[in-house]
Amino acid sequence: MTLALVTMSHSPLLEFVDPPADVKAEVEAAFEAARSFVKKYDPDLVINIGPDHYNGFFYDIMPPFCVGYDAVAIGDFGTQAGPLDVPTEIATELTEFLMERGIDMTVSLRMEVDHGAVQPMEIIYGDITAKPVLPIFINSVAPPFTPLKRIRQLGEELGAFIAERLADKKVLVIGSGGLSHEPPVPQIATATPEVREALLGGGRHLTPEARDARQQRVINAAKDFAAGVGVVKPLAPEWDQELMRILASGDLSPIDAWTPAEMSEIAGNSSHEVRTWIAAYAALGAVGDYTVDYSFYRPIPEYIAGFGVTTATLN
């Protein structure tokens, strides 16, 4: 058994806004580093830990985390649409393993995923069906949030599963999301009646016109933010870099003390996407000591994101 990791910020804005040329070149270099790493590693199976942005999961039922036994990408913001190649038997075995270990895992027999889950696969492979992929959703935008300690435990048990049950495979764990950012994702506590209905499930399967309008609102917010118009919370580079330092250290326990309220206050309402990174690193750490082989970070207002990419391998 071997295990490796890629964590990557995603952004729905990659193809819709224009950061300065040197910034765009740095991001592309980071993507190329991830691609080269994965190509050399050549995994048999990808375990993709990602968030959702009220495209597949809504407040009618909002689990803290969920395994997909099957999954289809909705294709928002120009990302690839269609079914993923999900190994249902492994998803089932993982769920039973986690339940036996005290993780009350939700399952979806038809998970719908958005750019937050599939963009790294598309960036790395150019095709979301290039490898068998087991999708794990972690709620990262819809309060209330489970404590980070539980996310770390989920990751550790995922690592135990990989070590015990996938000994004959090369596995790549992807954590997709973060870091500090607060794009214009609605909050249930302040939603208008119309938006509240959308968050309760009415926003599922939008018409093309409604999808375009929603996407354009995000694009416009990004352009305003980059121009210095304070429509969203500023990025938090120091918070981002402290998180990346802790993850690289191999001791994730300091993160247990971070509360959801503090995360939102310091790093923005969508900073909770770092839960995907934490779970991914916890899985790797549960298998053995590791080294971060590559690390990129830069705050990028045009993407409304503290943008990071890392790769890591077992020692």
Q: How many whole angstroms separate alpha carbon 3 and alpha carbon 70?
A: 23
Q: Which residues are marked as active site? A: 115, 181
Q: Is the peptide bond before 43 cis (omega within 30 degrees of 0)?
A: no
Q: Which two tokens stand for residue 116?
A: 């937050």
DSSP 8-state symbol, 78: G
Describe the strand order of the beta sheet including 71-73 as a list of residue ranges: 82-83, 71-73, 111-113
Determine contact, residues 45/132, Cβ cutoff 8 Å.
Answer: yes
DSSP annotation string for 211-270: HHHHHHHHHHHHHHHHTT--SSPPP-HHHHHHHHHHHHHS--GGGGG--HHHHHHHH-TT
What are the C-alpha distances in Å from 43 to residues 46, 136, 166, 171?
7, 17, 12, 5
Q: How many whole angstroms separate alpha carbon 315 and alpha carbon 303?
A: 34
Beta bridge partners of 46: 133, 172
In 3D space, the residue among 45, 185, 50 whose CA is nearest the CA of residue 117 turns out to be 50
DSSP 8-state symbol, 61: B
The C-alpha angle with vertex 148 and arms to 145 and 151, in degrees rounded to 5, equals 95
In 3D space, the residue among 74, 13, 68 whose CA is nearest the CA of residue 206 turns out to be 74
